[in-house]
Amino acid sequence: MIGTAGAYFNPDEARIMTDQLFQTPLYEVHKAAGARMGPFGGWDMPIQYAGILNEHHHTRTKASIFDTCHMGEFEVKGPGAQADLENLLTLNVDTIREGQCRYGFLLNDEGGVIDDLTCYRRAGEHFFLVVNAGTRGNDASWIKSHLSANTTFTDLSPGRTKIDVQGPGARQAVEAVLGPLPDLGYFRFADLDLGGIPMTLSRTGYTGEWGYEFYFDSAPAIDIWHRLVGGGVIQPAGLGARDTLRLEMGYALYGNELNAHMTPAGATGGAFIHMGKDFIGKPAVERELANPTRHLVGLMLESKRAARSHDRVVANGETVGEVTSGSVAPSLDCAIALAYVDDGFHAPGTELAISVRNKELPARVTGLPFYTDGTARKKSR
């Protein structure tokens, strides 16, 4: 844990750590701002600044800025790029239009999740992928080993910066500092010059709120960060708030809800998986969809005592599942959890319990997302 104020977030549950931690181009900015740092996916990352609760609520009501430079960026292009990505990814690549992006999974031969990622189409056969930090090396090796001779792969990650600004006031706050923004739809992106810097701007988000992702070369990273924060509305937020925000939305986290030993069928019920094509790992996904044995559900607890990863989910004293993520939900003022439960225990309204230190905490299966007032899908302006 990271102390009382940050007790909702345990980075050890989220990623495999390495002895040598990388630093983002913004590392010294975080240190100077008094951020509490911690390991995440092999990187030394800011966990919190003013406190997780403060940062969480500021994101839900105004706008926060997150350093996400640890994420990986891959370029895949060439005459065979689309066909290769169709084989590699569960999402429907064919229907991604230029300037559009889509979420999906990279699977191994047994259907286990190597990573969850977002695929962007720049042009006809020109794509880039945004992948998780802790899986970047394995992702690159797997993808390169399954590309045809006329497809090229480039790891763009070194020397690149990714900054996210999230919150209902994101657009107005960014425009006040960097100038007008295009009217981007949800899961759309554009290449543009913003604040004098060439960059890619996308609108996907991991918090449930309106927001943007900025991708650009790292040289002006510190300047852009200070300009955005200097406007007085946008405040820095760390991975602690990022985790409570994503959990309120019911979003899966690789290493918690997703891993290389499980297909994504139980986590999504078939969402983000295009079964109308062939892809690596499809037979295992088909089997699980046809005969589901586990389901990822949301659990709302009666108390504010948070469950943790690997806590048992029980019904009438019998184990029927396992918690994958748990936290107090600052926006809801109660404890929530994501958990895999056995088939037959996943219907909304099902009364269950979570065993925490030999005490059973009553919980109820609820629909996702937990938090339903997010602004992410609202129209521009």
Q: Has residue 183 been placed in a domain? A: yes
Say whether both 111 and 194 belong to one domain.
no
Say whether both 53 and 191 belong to one domain.
yes
Q: How many CB atoms lie within 10 A of CB 122?
A: 15
Say whether both 205 and 170 belong to one domain.
yes
Say whether both 304 and 326 belong to one domain.
yes
Q: Has residue 237 been placed in a domain? A: yes
What pLDDT does residue 381 have?
A: 55
What pLDDT does residue 71 have?
A: 97
Q: Has residue 338 been placed in a domain? A: yes
What pLDDT does residue 264 have?
A: 98
Q: Which one of 155, 172, 187 terminates a domain?
A: 155
Asked if residue 231 lies in contact with residue 184, where contact means CB atoms within 8 angstroms, the answer is: no
Q: Has residue 268 been placed in a domain? A: no
Q: What total number of domains does the chain contain? A: 3
Q: Which one of 119, 137, 155 terminates a domain?
A: 155
Say whether both 77 and 135 belong to one domain.
yes
Bridging pattern class, strands 72-77 and 126-131? antiparallel
Q: How many CB atoms lie within 10 A of CB 93?
A: 23
Say whether both 165 and 58 belong to one domain.
yes
Domain at 354, CATH number: 2.40.30.110
Say whether both 149 and 174 belong to one domain.
no
Say whether both 115 and 177 belong to one domain.
no
Range(s) of the domain holding residue 213: 4-68+159-248
CA distances (Å), origin 287, targets 111, 266, 270, 281, 367 = 10, 11, 12, 11, 25
Say whether both 78 and 142 belong to one domain.
yes
- Cα dihedral angle (186, 191, 192, 198), rounded to 10 degrees? 130
Domain at 122, CATH number: 3.30.70.1400
- The ranges of the chain with pLDDT < 50 are 1-18
**Per-residue pLDDT tens over the stretch 57-83:** 999 999 999 999 999 999 999 999 999
Domain at 25, CATH number: 3.30.1360.120
Say whether both 99 and 134 belong to one domain.
yes
Q: Round the CA-based radius of gyration of the chain to a whole number and report it.
A: 20
Q: Has residue 81 been placed in a domain? A: yes
Q: Which one of 109, 128, 155 terminates a domain?
A: 155
Return mean pLDDT, the chain.
94
> What is the rounded CA–CA span in Å between residue 153 and residue 157?
12
Q: Has residue 138 been placed in a domain? A: yes
Helix then strand then coil, in percent of the chain rounded to 5, is 20, 35, 45
Q: Has residue 286 been placed in a domain? A: no
> What is the rounded CA–CA span in Å between residue 341 and residue 314?
9
Say whether both 381 and 309 belong to one domain.
yes
First to last CA, the chain: 40
What pLDDT does residue 114 have?
A: 98
